[in-house]
Amino acid sequence: MTDKPKLMVVIASTRPGRIGLPVGEWFEAHAREHGGFDLDLADLAAIDLPFMDEPKHPRLREYTHQHTKDWSARVEAADAFAFVHPEYNYGMNAPLKNALDYLNAEWKYKPLGLVSYGGVSAGTRAAQMIKQVVTTLGMFPLFEAVSIPFVAEFVGEGGAIVPNQVMEKAATAMLDELVRVSAAFAQLRAA
Ligand SMILES: Cc1cc2nc3c(=O)[nH]c(=O)nc-3n(C[C@H](O)[C@H](O)[C@H](O)COP(=O)(O)O)c2cc1C
């Protein structure tokens, strides 16, 4: 542990063979090199939340299931988020929406960077949908984003992502802004 803020990098896709895993691993490595944050890589496939099964509204924080308590503690510990997400049928994927719906105050007053990928749209239609949802939870989605079009073209022979300069510059700009904004929001949460 350091005194750096904590960035949770969420891998949103849960499909076997998902491209989201190498994209998330590339982004996490880039964030580690950036050095502005301690990192928590949250892979929604590994976390394996069931469909939202809490009887009470999450704003009450009266959770009945251990999986919710664990997810709550992990999200609460984060100061900022980066969602590495696909676009499914012009929208956000269901496991990400489910993971958001489980909690409420744990997301509040925290900034979010979006790393989207897809075909020609680079996942940006899903990103717009995510912005609408997360502002309801009091998150602050950044303008700075990593938008990867034709993502399959960036998968190298070993399966890892081979980024171009545009992706690397965008990731650095987003991380720089996440550091600045998370510091301001930490003060707001403490007040
Ligand atoms: C159910 C489904 C819906 C999709 N819809 C879109 C879409 O709306 N826009 C797009 O650019 N790509 C779409 N794709 C293609 C995805 O961009 C591509 O399969 C990508 O690898 C999905 O991310 P993942 O492998 O991390 O799950 C879709 C793929 C799936 C499986």
Render pLDDT for 104-114 as a digit per residue (tens, 0 to 9).
999 999 999 99
What is the model's pTM? 0.98
Query: How does pLDDT run across 89-106, given as a tens digit for each residue?
Result: 999 999 999 999 999 999
Percent pLDDT > 70 in the chain is 99
Protein residue with its CA nearest to atom 22 in ligand 1: 86
Nearest ligand 1 atom to alpha carbon 122: 11
Enter the DSSP assignment of 21.
Answer: H
Q: How are the residues of the chain apportioned to helix, strand and coil, as percentages rounded to the nearest 5?
A: 45, 20, 35
Does the structure show a pLDDT above 90 at 41? yes
